[in-house]
Amino acid sequence: MDDFDNNEKLEISDEILNKPRLSTNKSDINFEQTLAEEEEEITEDKEEIYYDLLNKVYDQIDIEKELFSNKSINICKPIAKYENRKTTWENFDKNFVQINRDHEHLKKFVDKELGIKSSVNSKQNLIMRGKFDSKDICELLTKYIKNYVQCPTCRTINTSIIRNESRMDYLSCNNKKCDTQKVVQKV
Ligand SMILES: [Zn+2]
């Protein structure tokens, strides 16, 4: 009887001994799966970067279309005239009124982007040293609107720039249903 008991105990302990081995195998499989998943994630990351780039290109085209061909937004395409090594942004005054921004802010942005020192004449045209065509100015204004005017959520241009107590600038959406606020870089 004693012998039988021992045998049975042995059998049980064998079973117990086998268990951890099984679970080790399982975790090996899990590890491989994790590796495969990680590789997949890396590929997805690369794809994401590619689509991000692609989206940026489409974004630019879409935003330009949206801004300058949409009657409800109503922004005129910038008009540039080159003469005597200087470019005049002829409807600069109209443009900053249409986007409801201070002309000094827009001028500062243009200077920073182009690395120049522009000036505003008596007709409120922006005079820039160098040759720029309407397309260049259009891209510049689009970039400005994207960063400092258009709400990233509802896409309205009915927004304001607000400076808080810690002197941070915020783009604040005036659409009450949206009410988005985003931090904007100082020009
Ligand atoms: Zn909004």
pLDDT in tens, 16-54: 445 444 444 444 555 555 666 666 666 667 777 776 766
Cα 182 from Cα 180, distance rounded (Å): 7
How far, in Å, is the centroid of ligand 1 from the Cα of 181?
8
Report the pLDDT value the prediction gives residue 74, as an integer from 0 to 100: 77
pLDDT in tens, 45-86: 777 777 676 666 666 666 677 777 766 677 899 999 999 999
How far, in Å, is the centroid of ligand 1 from the Cα of 73?
14
How far, in Å, is the centroid of ligand 1 from the Cα of 155?
6
pLDDT in tens, 118-174: 999 999 999 999 999 999 999 999 999 999 999 999 999 999 999 988 889 999 999
Exposure string of 54-78, with b = 16+ CB inside 10 Å and e = fewer, is eeeeeeeeebbebbbeeeebebebb
How far, in Å, is the centroid of ligand 1 from the Cα of 143?
18
How far, in Å, is the centroid of ligand 1 from the Cα of 63?
15
Nearest CA-CA partner of 162 in 184, 143, 178, 146: 184
Cα 110 from Cα 119, distance rounded (Å): 11
Q: What is the mean pLDDT of the chain?
A: 81
Cα 123 from Cα 92, distance rounded (Å): 9
CA dihedral 57, 58, 59, 62 (to 10 degrees): 130
pTM above 0.85, yes or no: no
CA dihedral 120, 171, 78, 109 (to 10 degrees): 40
How far, in Å, is the centroid of ligand 1 from the Cα of 145?
14
Residue 77 carries which DSSP code?
P
How far, in Å, is the centroid of ligand 1 from the Cα of 25?
54
How far, in Å, is the centroid of ligand 1 from the Cα of 156?
6
